[in-house]
Amino acid sequence: MKKLNEMTLEELWKLFPIELVDHDPSWKVQYENEKNRLIKCFKEHKPIRIEHIGSTAIPHIKAKAIVDILIETKVEDFQRFKEIINDCGYILMSQSDDRISFNKGYTEQGYADQVFHLHLRKENDHEKLFAKYGQ
C-alpha cells in the first residue's frame, strides 16, 4: 500500500472525498478532548487562546466531519509551538510567515475516526484579515 506522500492528487481525492454531513454533537466533545490533549503537550507553554472554529463548531448546519482548531500564540512563541504540535502527532500541511496548518487523522486507509485541522496563528493575525477586507 502506498504511503500518503507517495499518492497522486487524484488518489488522495478518492481516498479523502469532501462530504457534508448533518451536525454531530460529538464534534464538541472531540474538540474538548483534543484541546485537553494539546494543553498536556504544551506543558508550561501557554497559547493566547485555543478555539473550536469552522463549520463543526456551528450547530444545526451540515459540515465536513473535520474538527478545526485555532491556536493563537505570541509572536516569540510561534516556532516553539510549531515544534510542539509536530511532536504531538500532527502533520505539517502548509506554512507561511505568520500561519501554519497541520492535520491529524488521515491514514492510508482513509479518514480515521477523528480528523482534525489545526490552524496555528500569530497574535493579532486577524487584524491583517480585516485590513485586507476593507481594501
**DSSP strands (E only) in the chain:** 49-53, 67-73, 91-95, 99-107, 110-122
Q: Where are the chain's structural domains?
A: 19-133
On whether the 19-133 domain is CATH 3.20.20.150, my answer is no
* Reported pTM: 0.89
End-to-end CA distance of the chain: 48
Q: What is the pLDDT along the chain (135 residues), one digit of tens a residue?
A: 899 889 999 999 999 999 999 999 999 999 999 999 999 999 999 999 999 999 999 999 999 999 999 999 999 999 999 999 999 999 999 999 889 999 999 999 999 999 999 999 999 876 555 544 445
